[in-house]
Structure 1
Amino acid sequence: MTELQAYPMNGGDGHHSYTKNSNYQKNVMVSAKELITENILEKLDIKSFNPPISTFRIADLGCSVGPNTFLAVQNIMEAVKFKYQKLEIESEIPEFQVFFNDHVANDFNTLFTSMASNREYYAAGVPGSFYNRLFPASSLHVVYSVFSIQWLSKVPKHVVDKSSSAWSKGRVHYSSAPDAVIKVFEAQFRSDMDSFLSARAKEVVQGGLMTLLAPGRPNGTAHSLSPLNLVFDGLGPCIMELVNKGVVEEEKLESFNIPIYHMSAEELAEAVERNGCFSIEQIEAMPNIAVNFNLPKEKICLHVRAIVGVLVKQHFGEEILDQLFELYLNKLEEHAFKFNPQMEKAVNIFAFLKRK
C-alpha cells in the first residue's frame, strides 16, 4: 500500500454499482438537509464578502459517481439563494460554480453523463486526494463532503508488517483487532484529518463554511461495538474460507486491510480544535439514522460490494468477487442476529464549521 491510495466506489450504473447501491447515503444526506440549510442561513455572512462576489464556489469532496452529489449541491444552492432573498439582495445572487472532486480512478464519465443538462451552475471535475491541496488559496465559499472522510489516505504500514506488534494477522478490518492495531488506525485518522483541515484552511475564504457527514460511533463507544465495523469485519472470515479452498493465497490476505475508520464526534472536534482555523458551529452524532439491518440481506451485500468491491478487485483480482460476496451474503444470513442489538450504536457524525 503506497501513500494516498485511491479507493473509488464501483463505477457505472450496473447491478453492482455505487450508483444503484447508495440509498443509505442518500437517506442520511436527506435527513441532514434541514441542519445544513439552517446553518447556512444562520452562519453564512454574505455581507463580509466585500466587494460582493460574482461567483459562489462550492466543492464536493469525495463526490463519487452520483446521483447523491447532485442533490446535495442543489440543496446548498437553494439555501444560499434563500439567504440572499432573506437579506433582500436578490439582485446580487451570484453565479454558481461547483467542483466535483474525487480520486483520479473515480468514474467521472458516469458522473458527468448523469449530470442534468438544465443545471444552474458551472461544473468542473477536480481529480486528486482531498488530503492534499486541490484549489487555489481562498477560492471556496462552501465545502461539502459526505461519506468520504471515513476513508483513510492509506492502510497504516504496521498493520501489514509481520514484524510489528500491530500486525493485524488474519483480519481485514481493525474493529476486532488488539489494541495495538486500533491505536495505529486512530493515529492514522488523526494524521489524515490534520492534513485535510490544513488543506481546507488554505482553500476556504474567511467566513466560508464546511459541512461534513460521515459514518461513526457515539463518543466513548468501543470500535468493536459498532455495527458498521461488524459489517466490514465480516469479510475477513469469507476471504479466509477462500484461502482454505486454495482460491486465494494466504500471503494476499495478510497484506490486505480496509482503510476505513469510524470516528466519534469527539475525535472530529479534537481535530478541528488542533487545526485552529475553523470555528465549530455544530458537531453531533445523528443516532436517528441507523443502519437498517432489517433490509433484505442481499441489499446489504450489494451495498458493501459497491463500497469495497474495487478495493478487493485491486488486491485479489476480479475473479474472486462473485465467490467472495456469495460467501459474505451467507454470513449475513447466518449471523444477522448479532447486528440487531447493536443498531443504536450506528450513528452518523454531522459537522458544520466556519473558517475564522
Structure 2
Amino acid sequence: MEAKSQSLVPESYAINGGDGPYSYAQNSLYQRGIMEAAKGMINEEIAMKLDIQKLSLAASEPIRIADLGCSCGANTILAIQNILEALKRKFRTHPTPEFQVFFNDQVSNDFNSLFASLPVLGRQYYAASVPGSFHGRLFPTASLHFVYSSCALHWLSKVPKGVVDKTDPAWNEGRIHYTGAPKEVFEAYSDQFAKDIDSFLQARGKELAPGGLMALLIPAIPDVISHPQITTGSEPELLGSCLVDMEKMGIVSEAKVDTFNLPIYFTYPKELRQIIEGNGCFSIKRMEILNIPKQHIVMPEPRQRTLYLRALLEALIEKHFGNEIIDQLFEIY
C-alpha cells in the first residue's frame, strides 16, 4: 500500500471581497483613518531612519516593499502610494531604483479585486501577490527593504486552544470573545497574541534586509484601561449575545455557540513593547498612539456599524455556523 502524508493547512478567513454593500472596500472608513493618521509619521521615519548606504543595493536591484495583511480595496493602494512617494524622496539625491510591491494576505483574500483596482497608467512599481499567513516565513532571507502592515496583527493565527476545551480553566462557555469573560480567558488570548507576534517578528527578522524599516499599525487598548473595564458596549460581546439569543430561539445549537470564538486580540502599548523588546529581532525607533480623525471613528447609524462588522466577520461566522443565519444574525445585531 502507498503511504499518504497529511499536512496541516492553517484556517484561512478573509474579510469580504468585491465592492458590494457588505464588502470591506465599502466599509473600511475606520481603517482609512488609521492609514491617514500614520502617513506623516511613516514619511518622517523613512526620511530620517532608512539607511540607503546600509541597504547596499546592487545596480539593478529594486526596492522591495511588502504589505502584510493587505486585504483589498482602495486603502491598500493609497498606503503603498504614500510609502512609494516617501521612498522616492529619500532617493532624490541618488539614482532612483525600481520598486517591487508584494501584497500579502490569507489565501482566501480577494486578490482579483485588489489587482483589478491597481492603477493601469502611471503605476511606478511592479506588483505581485504573496498568499499565506504572515505568522510564518513568506520571503527569502534579507530580501525586503520596507515592511508595512495596518489593522492586521490583532488577528490571531488561531483561537486559543483552552477557550474551546471544557476541561480547561479558560473554557469560554456562552461567549465568543474575552470581553466579559473571566481572566483565564483573557490570559489565554494574551498568551496567544504574544506567541503570534513573536513568530511574526522572527520571520520578518530574517526577511528584512540590514538597514530596512518596518511600520506596524496595530489596533490597541490604552494602557490605563484594564481588562474588566473594556467589556461594556463591546461589539464582540454584543454579537455574542445575539448568537445566544438565536440559540434560545432554536436557530443555532448551544454547542456551536460554545465552540465559536473570535481570533482577535487588542493589545496594550506596554504589552506590545515588552514583546518586541523581548523578541530581540528589532529595535523600536518610534512608537506612538495615532490621533485618528474623528470623522473616521464615529459611526452614528446602527446600520453603518453593522455593515462594518459584517464586512470583517461574515466569512468567519459562515464557516462555523453556515450562511443560513448570516442575514438574521446581523438584523438582530
The whole-number CA distance in structure 1 between the counterparts of 2:50 and 2:278 is 23
Amino acid at match of 1:9: I
Q: Deviations over 1:36-88 (max 9, x none)?
A: 10111010111222255530000000011122111010001100111112xx2
Counterpart of 1:295 in structure 2: which amino acid? P
Of 53, 64, 67, the residue aligned with 1:57 is: 64
In structure 2, C-alpha distance between the alignment counterparts of 1:231 and 1:122, rounded to whole Å: 39
Candidates 268, 280, 293, aligned match of 2:272: 268
Q: CA shift at 1:134, angstroms?
A: 0.1
Aligned match of 2:103: 100
Q: Which amino acid aligns with 1:209?
A: L
Of 300, 305, 327 in structure 1, the residue corresponding to residue 305 of structure 2 is 300
Whether 1:326 aligns to 2:309 is no
2:17 equivalent in structure 1: 11
Deviating more after overlay: 266-275 vs 290-299: 290-299
Pick from 148, 151, 156: which aligns with 2:155?
Answer: 151
What do the CA deviations read for 1:68-109 (whole angstroms, capped 9, x no partner)? 111010001100111112xx22xx110000000011111111
8 Å Cα contact 2:180/2:231 also seen in 1: no
The aligned residue for residue 124 of structure 1 is: 128
Q: How far apart, in 1, do the equivalents of 2:99 and 2:225 lie?
A: 41
Deviates more, 1:282-291 or 1:144-153: 282-291
TM-score in terms of structure 2 length:
0.93
> Which position in structure 2 is the counterpart of 1:350?
none
Gaps of 5+ in 2: 1-7
Stretch deviating more after TM superposition (173-182 or 290-299): 290-299
CA 1:15–1:258 in 2, change beyond 3 Å: closer, same or farther? same
Gap runs ≥5 in structure 1: 329-356
- Count of paired positions: 323
TM-score under structure 1 normalisation?
0.87
Deviation at 1:235, TM superposition (A): 0.5
The RMSD of aligned alpha carbons is: 1.7
Q: Percent sequence identity over matched residues? A: 48
Q: Is the 8 A contact 1:175 1:229 kept in 2?
A: no
Question: CA shift at 1:229, angstroms?
Answer: 7.8
Which amino acid in 2 is paired with 1:109?
N
1:258 aligns with 2:265: no
Matches within 5 A, 1:1-356: 4-52=10-58, 54-85=61-92, 88-89=93-94, 92-118=95-121, 119-226=123-230, 230-288=234-292, 292-328=297-333
Q: Secondary structure at the match of 2:262?
A: coil
Change (3 A) 1:58 1:294: closer
Cα distance in 2 between the residues matched to 1:112 and 1:243? 40
Equivalents in 2 of 1:94, 1:229: separation in Å?
A: 49
User: 2: distance between equivalents of 1:240 and 1:9?
Assistant: 23
